Chain A
Amino acid sequence: MGEIKRESPVRFTASPTKSEVRDNWTVALEYDEEGQGPWLVDLAHKTRWDLQDNKVGEQRPGDLTVPSAPGDCTFANNTLVNRMNRTQASIYHLGAAAPAMPDFSGYTDVTESTVFLALFGPNAFFIAEKLASLDFLDPAKTAPFLYQGPFCHVPCQIVTLEKAADGAGGFLLTCSRGYGDSMVHAILEAGVEFGLRPAGENCFNTWAQGLQG
């Protein structure tokens, strides 16, 4: 019996040129010819929590406030807190390591539940409009914001982190883990005309750092 190896629900046909082992995950840091974007990055290894409580607004996951309105998000310290409804929020830890889950029964670690992808760069939303009828570029919305809705007919949580009228920007997407292969196939196929390429965590970090100032 060798080392325990954790598997992502997402596989790209290309192999990473640079990777590292972290918490039993093999994390792809870089791919060959990542191109000028748009990019698709697998973030399955990033810790996600589900938080549900009647007074969810009083919780402070990762020392951040839970936004008061459903659809709103707080993004700082590499942590994203998304208010889902009256009693529920989702927390994405985007840094290298996640803190220990608070000792409160309202939390559930759902890292294993979902596919976790980032799609960003030029024309990212022109790819999205081929797969979903959600209005990512709604002028009334300011990033970051959360949509809970179908993407390629599969219910998803989608957090738009950056958007521009010319279709550039990007979002994080989670859906049931089992859809990993189908979802990646659908997104990559829709992205062909825009030169969508798989990219590694480094590429994502550069983008995410820029967004947090």
Chain B
Amino acid sequence: MNRLNQLPTLRINPSEKLSLSYRGKSYQGVAGDTVATALYANGVRVFARSLKYHRPRGLYSLDGECSNTCMDVNSIPNIRTENTLLKDGMVVKEQNVMGSADRDWLSFIDKLDWMMPAGFYYKTMHKPASMWPVAMKQIRKAAGLGVISADYQMKGQYDELFLKAEVTVIGGGAAGMTAALAAAESGQRVVLLESRPHLGGCFDYRVSATGDGTPLYERARELAEKVEQTGNIRVFKHTSMVGAYNNNLITGFQVGNADDVFTERYIEIRSNSVVVATGCIERPLIFDHNERPGVMQAGCAHRMARTYGLLPGSEAVFSVGHDLGLEAAVDLFDLGLKINCVADIREDGQNAELMLALAERKIPVLKGWVASKAHGSKKVEKVTLSTVEGTVKRDFPCDLLVASAGLTPVTGPFILAQAKMGYDSHTGYFLPTELPAKMFPAGRITGINNPGSIEASGRLAGLKAAAAAGADMGKTVADAEKAASTLPGPERGCKLVTAPVKGRKSFICFDEDTTIKNIKQAIDMGFDVPELIKRFTSAGTGPGQGGIPGHNLPLFVAKYTASINTPVPTTVRPPLVPTFLATYAGYNHHMFKHTPLNDSQKADGGIFRNIGVWQRARYFSDDFECKEEILNVRNNVGMLDGSTLGKFRIHGPDALKAFQRVYVSDMSKVKEGRIKYSAMCNDDGCVMDDGVVVKLGENDYYFTTSSGRAGQTVEWIRYHTRFDGWDFHLVNLTDAMGVINLSGPNARKVLAKVVDIDLSNEAFPFSGYKEFFIKDTIFVRAMRLGFVGEISYELHVPSSCTQAVWDMLKEAGAEFGIRNFGVEAQNVLRMEKCHIILGQESEQRTNLLDVGLGFLWDRKKADAKTVGAVALRQAEKDVGRLKLVGISMEDDTRAAREGALIVDNKVRGYVATMRKSFTTGEAVGMALVESQLADKGTRLEIFEDECNGVRLYARVVPMPFYDPTGERMKN
């Protein structure tokens, strides 16, 4: 197809050829083409088949208002090819066809529409019930859009941008650009969003003149240049707005160009005020076969020629209801299109100059006429025009039918921002009756069409927005208001929606194949509210987001029901245009914490798992039972990276008071040089956290929390003291100190080679705390603990030196065969000692007494109002609680899974942790069971998922399972 290559309005570069493949053949497009315009240039007219009836569908809008040109592009289904820029090498396929879009074997379904009245899907397929699965399968096979491949991996780079501005302008047409320029005069930051790849809006492709004689497209380019050169305006082209939320949060996404680092970019803009200059789309004209390929909207036909250099047909008929349609007819005629007739719905009120121009070109004009039927099986071949009353009819041959009932404002941003919408009978638009705070409309969305008025309204809105954002605009707002008021205001809109037809093949929604007849059926069944009719007939629920039926549905309903009330609009929801999930996911950077020993743990063969915010070495061999790691700690010496432990300093005159509030124990009894183990509960007495406390000085403590709680500790302590005004301060040192846990019978010997303090049991006993330096350089806080049940030193060392200390210990321990142990080995070791881990031996409802930590609770500090104390006092009398018990399997070879249920004829508890113990040779663990089952020797029945009715059995046994006197860890 020959392009009109010399037009000054072109947005393509005809000399830059791009290739695409379609149906296995290679085609050529040019830079600036969309996928659909490139295919159109190559003669493709049928792009897709419709959802239900498999009707042929062609190019209709150009802004993605319907699914007519949805295709599979580079294996991504449902791409709206009419506004997707062509990139070299794209592979395009039709979707929802059996055969091809041109010859679809399922097109016979179109003749079966009588079988499918509105709601048939809900009404006919449920009796008998057994039929439903069969029917559903067949329906889903025949109906639908593209098919997603389950293992398709989204390609490309998706990232995000969080913009801050005083003013956001949505829409880069003349009004939007003027608004941005006006707002920018204040010096404020302005963001301008335009969904097309270029600025210009409805001026961009028009050669008619502004007041001073400049063609509109030139004016648009002038404005665009000014906007681009204004330092405080940031322009985002090819950026669709998809969401508007309260506080004027606007979201959208930008499609990247070939040289951008991103494929698509999610954009979130927080600004003070917003100008909505989204303009209008065309209002579809409803008649028989109104979506036949070859039928297109006026702007679509006009832009095909002016923007893409493609004359959309050779012989045309126009059926329009507004001056833009007449303007398109005149211009397209001048570009070489033969026009057989222009039917204007309006009896009068046309622009006189345009009527003169049509007469000069000898184009026949019929006033008060409208298209009533398009003929032709796959493409338009002929059209029947009729008077709007339907009394007289006449046929005209054509291969292009330009049809457009009127204009419809793009009010999505207002609806999303919760504006109340009402019908304006002058324009025929649904417009906001009350504007959301700091949101201002500009341009054609207000009903105006005069170019001067559009710019004036843009300027006014821009100035108002700047003022609302806090700028002192002085007299300029009043001046702009005055200037705008002298120009032509909103124009009277054409009211006809439907040509005089019965409507069996007149489509109100293309995406969902909803006809006028379907709407009538729904209304006849008793539906009266457009929002419900929309759901029942699914009109407006397709990818076009109501772009086609948006205004027509409520207006038709009002007419058909002879409603005396004003029409009620349907609503829209974000995203306003289809958006990839990949775009929403954006950068999606995984932010994980690494310990200071991360690299050496990896080098030593650590197998890592994400545990909370950390990545930790869970195993050090493929043996996930960790036999070697465990036995080496029991018999020799091992080292664990415990750096994830929460670590804090608290200081200030009221530090002890804060401790008394959150810890259940009497913290005034903490002695210097000793560690104290205690726990924190919530207000229900449920145990939240445990750890140790060390006294550094008067009202100055160092304390630890479990790894998972470190992030909430400051919040927790401050929350429970928020009314008290106490003077204490918290410092989170979790990441400041690496923690090395050195455990095993040989631990003392290893440590002695590295430090020069007295490590004898008398000088540094169990529960002791020491501070010292290694090599006079590295400050160490050392604790003697017994979590794993052996002699154990926990060394807290500055993070930057943790690796150095680890290496020293490793070297010192070489002669003993020191080796790493991971989180899983530690888990088994401590389980054998029945040392609990909160979150594993407890869940949300488990209180301090349930897990056997009641001995920590000091009841004599009521003045402290200890968190949990009141509830614990009540819970003591409660007999119905679960109790933590040790259990041993009857079959030693088989440990029950964690979370397995303890049952008789109902659930009586569950297994918290259970492992095969290499130390004792038994399968042992801990379980939370009802107190009646807690006596030693009780036989427990265990139900596991997928056990097929085979129960496991265990008995309650004394805790701990290993070294009950604690000699090994205390000596």
* A complexed with B: yes
Q: Please determine whether A182 and B591 come into contact, CB atoms closer than 8 angstroms.
A: yes
- Is A154's CB under 8 angstroms from B591's CB? yes
Taking CB atoms and an 8 Å cut-off, the chain A residues in 131-146 that contact chain B are 131-133, 135, 137-139
Give complex CA distance A144, B778 in Å.
34
B164 to chain A, nearest CB (A): 4
Q: What chain A residues lie within 8 Å of B651 (beta carbons)?
A: 52, 105-106
Interface flag for A25 (CB, 8 Å): yes
Which of B112-120, B800-808, B844-852 contacts the other chain? B800-808
What residue in chain A is nearest B231 (Cβ atoms)? A165
A110 interface neighbour in B160, B594, B733, Cβ under 8 Å: B733
Cβ A4 vs Cβ B775 within 8 A: yes
Decide if B853 is an interface residue (CB 8 Å cutoff). no
Kindly state the separation between the CA atoms of A24 and B776 in the bound complex, as whole angstroms. 13
A106 touches B729 (CB 8 A): yes
Is residue A53 contacting chain B, with contact meaning CB distance below 8 A?
A: yes
A6 on interface, CB distance cutoff 8 Å: yes
Residues of B within 8 A of A154 (CB): 591
Listed stretches A73-81, A171-179, A197-205; interface member:
A171-179
Interface-facing stretch out of B284-292, B393-401, B734-742: B734-742
For B593, give its contact among A135, A153, A179, A189 (CB under 8 Å): A179
State the Cβ distance, A96 to closest chain B Cβ, in Å: 17
B186 CB to nearest chain A CB (Å): 11
Assembled-state Cα–Cα distance A111/B811 (Å): 28
* Contact flags B703-742 to A (C-beta < 8 A → 1, else 0): 0000000000000000000000001010111111100000
Distance A114 CA – B163 CA, assembled complex (angstroms)? 27
Whether B587 pairs with A190 at a CB distance below 8 angstroms is yes
CB 8 Å contact bits of A48-75 with B (1 = contact, 0 = none): 0010111000000000000000000000
Say yes or no for B777: interface residue by CB 8 A criterion.
Answer: yes
Q: A129-B162, A166-B231 are in contact. Are A24 and B777 (CB under 8 A)?
A: yes
Complex: how many Å from CA A153 to CA B649?
A: 25
Q: Which listed residue (B160, B164, B737) contacts A112, Cβ 8 A?
A: B737
- Shortest CB-to-CB span from B304 to chain A, Å, is 34
Q: Which residue of B lies closest to A23 (CB)?
A: B777
Least distance between A43 CB and chain B CB atoms (Å): 13
Q: In the complex, are the beta carbons of A25 and B800 less than 8 A apart?
A: yes
Inter-chain contact B591/A186, CB cutoff 8 Å: yes
Residue of A nearest to B753 (CB): A1
Question: What is the CA–CA distance of A88 and B164 in the complex, to the nearest angstrom?
Answer: 28
**Closest-CB distance, A158 to chain B (whole angstroms):** 14
Q: Are A9 and B799 in contact (CB under 8 A)?
A: yes
Tell me if A183 is interfacial: C-beta within 8 Å of chain B.
yes
- Asked if A193 and B261 make an inter-chain contact with CB atoms under 8 angstroms apart, the answer reads yes
- Kindly provide the distance from the CB of A128 to the nearest chain B CB, expressed in whole angstroms: 9
CB distance from A211 to the nearest CB of B (A): 23
Please indicate the chain B residues that have their CB under 8 angstroms from the CB of A108 in the complex.
649, 731, 733
CA of A110 to CA of B589 in the docked complex: distance in angstroms? Answer: 27
B232: chain A residues within 8 A (beta carbon): 165
Q: Chain B residues near A190: list those with CB within 8 A.
A: 159, 587
Contact A182 B589 (CB under 8 A): yes
Say whether A113 contacts B733, CB under 8 Å.
Answer: yes
Across the two chains, which residue of chain B brings its CB closest to A140? B470
Contact with B along A88-120 (1 / 0, CB 8 A): 100000000000000001101011111000000
CB distance from B11 to the nearest CB of A (A): 25
Indicate whether A208 reaches chain B with its CB closer than 8 angstroms.
no
User: Per-position contact with A for B683-706: 1 when CB-CB < 8 Å, else 0?
Assistant: 000000000000001001000000
CB atoms of B270 and A133 under 8 A apart: yes
B-side contacts of A9, CB under 8 Å: 594, 596, 799
Q: A152 within 8 Å of B by Cβ?
A: yes
* A and B contact pairs by CB, cutoff 8 A, 15 listed: A6-B798, A7-B800, A25-B800, A106-B651, A108-B649, A110-B731, A130-B162, A131-B587, A133-B164, A135-B270, A138-B164, A176-B593, A176-B734, A179-B593, A186-B587
Contacts A110-B731, A154-B591, A178-B595 aside, 14 further interface pairs with beta carbons under 8 A come to: A7-B804, A9-B799, A44-B800, A87-B727, A112-B736, A133-B270, A137-B164, A152-B589, A153-B589, A178-B614, A179-B593, A181-B598, A183-B591, A189-B589
